[in-house]
Amino acid sequence: MINLQKSPWGGESFYLNLGWDPAVASGEFRSENSCVFGLRAENIDVIPSIDFVRPDGLAARDLPGIILLDAEMSSRIPEDSFVKQLIDVIVVPIADFMDRTPALQDLVPLLTEKPHLAFIPVREELKRRGFTLPAM
C-alpha cells in the first residue's frame, strides 16, 4: 500500500506512508496503518537527498528529498522543476523500492538492518514464515 497523507497538524505538508499485509488481495485497499507492517518513506533511506540553492545563489545545503512533500518547499521551486524533482527524488526511488519488495519476506534485509522498524505483528508473521529478526 502507498498512501500520501496530508499533515494532520495543518498546513499543506504531506507524508508518504508504505504498508504491507499478506491478507490483502491484489487490487484491494487497506490503510497502511491497518497493515501487518507500515512505515513512513523517510525511514527507509531510499529517497535521495537534494541540493537546494538559496535564492542568493551563494550557498547550497543537502536536504532529504522528503522535504519536497513540504508545502513551503514546493512553493519556492518553479513548478516544472518541482515536478521533475518530485519524480526523480521521490516517485522513482519509492516505486523501485516497492518493486523490490512485493512480498513481506522481501523486507527481511531492511528489518535486519533496522530492527526497530519491526513491531510485533510483522515479527510474528515473519517468524511464522521461518524468518527471525534481530532484537530491537
Q: Residue 5's pLDDT is what? A: 86
Length of the chain: 136
What strands, in cross-sheet order, belong to the sheet with 14-20?
A: 2-6, 14-20, 37-40
Measured between alpha carbons, how far is 21 from 5 in angstroms, rounded to an integer?
A: 19
Q: What pLDDT, in 10s, does the model give residues 44-59?
A: 889 988 877 767 766 6
Domain contains 133: no
Bridge partners, residue 19, by sequence: 38
Spacing of C-alpha 7 from chain mean position:
15
Coil, helix or strand for 67? helix
pLDDT < 70 positions in the chain:
10, 54, 57-61
Domain contains 52: yes
Domain contains 135: no
Q: Residue 61's pLDDT is what? A: 66
Q: Residue 66's pLDDT is what? A: 86
The model carries a pTM of 0.78
Total structural domains in the chain? 1
Q: Residue 110's pLDDT is what? A: 93
Q: Residue 60's pLDDT is what? A: 66
